[in-house]
Amino acid sequence: MIGAIIWDIQQLKRSFHSIQFKHIPRSTNTLAHSVATNCLKNGGESYLIGSVSMVVDDGLWGRRKRELD
């Protein structure tokens, strides 16, 4: 699966005049990591049209609760 994503990126980058990729550590992007992990556990596909993933919703509520304490 990762190989296909890298191949897609390599094909798409040809259409840009300039492109820059930046790595964001998992520890600073925990919600995106949770969504990606959940997606892979559910067969690699996830569609969120007009809704928020329960993983994200749970993560946001957990973060808000900690901020209020």
**4-54 per-position pLDDT tens digit:** 888 888 888 888 888 787 888 878 887 777 777 777 787 766 655 566 666
Position 60 pLDDT exceeds 80: no
Residue 9 lies in a domain: no
Sign of CA dihedral 59, 65, 68, 69: negative
Number of domains in the chain: 1
Residue 66 lies in a domain: yes
Residue 13 lies in a domain: no
- For residue 22, what are its two tokens? 């930046």
Cα–Cα dist 67/44, whole Å: 32
Q: What is the pLDDT, as a whole number, of residue 65?
A: 47
Residue 59 lies in a domain: yes
Q: What is the pTM for the complete model shown?
A: 0.37
Say if residues 45 and 63 touch (Cβ distance below 8 Å): no
Residue 15 lies in a domain: no
Residue ranges making up the domain that contains 63 = 31-69
